[in-house]
Amino acid sequence: RKEVEQDPGPFNVPEGATVAFNCTYSNSASQSFFWYRQDCRKEPKLLMSVYSSGNEDGRFTAQLNRASQYISLLIRDSKLSDSATYLCVVNQAGTALIFGKGTTLSVSS
């Protein structure tokens, strides 16, 4: 079983749509969780950290369910500029970040 699993997509949605991505992780010792965004042929960049209580940043909402070892990202009112690959990332203390393979989002007008 992969340490971090994501649906690769692609998710094709119209502008203004709401879209949700899910991610599962296998190691219950994982301590910190993140969503990264990667544009084509660019380096990944942090979108948001994910906290146990859930957190929101504008149109983006991240949720963590430790019992089910599940992380989600919700994007409301999708924009063309949201088109990218979204990477689910987990980390344990003293080790490297583990990246999922990413979910591709394409927003069309």
Q: List residues near other proteins by CB under 8 A.
A: 31-34, 42-46, 49-51, 87, 89, 91-102
CB of 56 vs other proteins, minimal distance in Å: 13
Which residue, 17 or 22, has its beta carbon nearer to other proteins? 22
Which residue, 42 or 79, has its beta carbon nearer to other proteins? 42
Residue tagged 């340490």 (tokens): 3
Q: Which of 6, 66, 1, 71 is nearest to 38 (CA)?
A: 6
Counted residue by residue, the chain has a size of 109
Which residue, 66 or 77, has its beta carbon nearer to other proteins? 66
CB of 42 vs other proteins, minimal distance in Å: 8
What's the angle, vertex CA 49, arms to CA 82 and CA 19, rounded to 5?
A: 35
d(CA 35, CA 9): 16
CB of 67 vs other proteins, minimal distance in Å: 17
